[in-house]
Amino acid sequence: MNLNQITIPSIDLEKSVDFYKKLGLKLIVDSIPRYARFECPEGDSTFSIHRVNTLPKGEGITIYFEVEDLDNYIQTLIDKHQIVFEELATNQVWLWREARLKDPDGNQLILYLAGENRKNPPWKISD
């Protein structure tokens, strides 16, 4: 099994599509105002957004995008696109470097760099 795609809800698809394009995702399906799909710049996964009348209640969705040159990438988003971060890149106790921001619909995004620790942290369980 392979996780291929994630789809998130949005109230305003045009605003969300613009936001995710600024993050560097490539729009490959444009069915605005009801649906849009992106390719991630690396790997083989896709990411899509569908229009809803109301957003889910509660904590919502958290989406992680791994970025190799995290600090420079974040600075480019700030300088070039005026993207606002809730928290700039910080080293975490679980050995990932993470920055946090929200998309236009309030979905939590985490841009991170984990490297080998993503799948093989020191506390990984044995088979």
In terms of DSSP bridges, do strands 26-31 and 62-66 run parallel, antiparallel, or are they unpaired? Answer: unpaired
pLDDT at position 26 is 97
> For residue 95, how many other CB atoms are within 10 A of its CB?
14
pLDDT tens column, 54-97: 998 888 889 999 999 999 999 999 999 999 999 999 999 999 99
Rounded to two decimals, the pTM is: 0.93
Q: How many CB atoms lie within 10 A of CB 20?
A: 23
| Domains contained in the chain, CATH given | 5-118 (3.10.180.10)
What pLDDT does 101 receive? Answer: 97
pLDDT of residue 3: 87
Q: Across residues 104-122, what is the average pLDDT?
A: 95
